[in-house]
A and B are shown apart, each in its own frame.
Chain A
């Protein structure tokens, strides 16, 4: 109980003095910066969920406008089933996590919610890397392409750049707190120093 209350106090006490991170021209935590990422994540979630439903056997076939049996080859490949759950289901989970973490927190969250920004960055970054690896595996290992898998990978890469500015502002904030001799631990969780 004490932690959320402290976060609230912290937000209120500092909300007025710092609208922008020092040396920034725009606020990386503003809704206009974050909502496009949330939109992309939801779009990716829809695609990945559709593919996962096929992999779970709820659909008999998958929409594939360009590459013939390519999508079916990829979605039934051994790489797609290397984990206990199909890879598209993992992708859907990643996207909904990205969307949720894009929504949480206010316009000052680069300063008040450091941890969520860091988790957001960690989710977006490795997620993009895995997507690109899967894009490479499609033609190299299975000699097939999958249109919706490519679209999903494109979306996950597209989210990295827009998510990065908030992470940079966050890291700079933690660095300033550290230089001023404050506790990085408390700054990381958005607690009052």
Chain B
């Protein structure tokens, strides 16, 4: 759904602003400043129906945001809570259904089909 991708674009942007807003440093800050723009980029591309499937990448980025505090060791509770909430929401929005079949000549997956269509 389009609005789900718009929400994810804002979540990515929010991650970019979070370190300054909550004033935290360290690995949590670096992680948010890298994942934020990447998540926002995939979400913005996925706003359009023909490239909606690209938004699924944010499922992986969301999972990473949830586990990153424990893998990287943030040492600060604010980014842990922030990343967990953003991560779970990112996953939920990215998992909303993509229905473009039949609209774009079979879509991108048609390119991997070997038979005539």
Contacts and interface: CB of A to CB of B under 8 A. Distances in A.
Given A139-B33, A161-B46, A165-B50, A179 B116 contact: yes
Interface stretch (B58-66, B88-96, B97-105): B97-105
Given A139-B33, A161-B48, A24 B104 contact: yes
B47 interface: yes
Interface in B29-63: 30, 33-34, 37-38, 40-41, 44-48, 50-51
* Interface size band for B: 20 to 34
Contacts of B73: none
Interface residues of A, number: 27
A27 to B, nearest CB: 12
B103 A168 contact: no
A22 B116 CA distance: 12
| Overall SS of chain B's interface | helix
B45 A157 contact: yes
Given A21-B105, A23-B104, A179-B116, A132 B111 contact: no
B48 A128 contact: no
Given A168-B50, A179-B116, A161 B45 contact: yes
Interface in A123-140: 128, 132, 135-136, 139-140
A158 B104 CA distance: 20
A138 to B, nearest CB: 9
Nearest to B115: A179
A165 B34 CA distance: 28
A162 B50 CA distance: 8
A161 B110 contact: no
Contacts of B16: 135, 139
18 contacts: A23-B103, A23-B117, A24-B103, A24-B104, A135-B16, A136-B33, A136-B38, A139-B19, A154-B44, A157-B41, A157-B45, A161-B44, A161-B45, A161-B46, A164-B48, A164-B50, A168-B50, A172-B111
Counting from the closest, the 3 A-B pairs by CB-CB distance are: A161-B48, A23-B105, A165-B50
Interface of A: 21-25, 128, 132, 135-136, 139-140, 153-154, 157-158, 160-162, 164-165, 168-169, 171-172, 175-176, 179
Given A157-B40, A172-B105, 9 more contacts: A23-B102, A132-B41, A140-B33, A140-B34, A160-B45, A161-B45, A161-B47, A165-B50, A168-B107
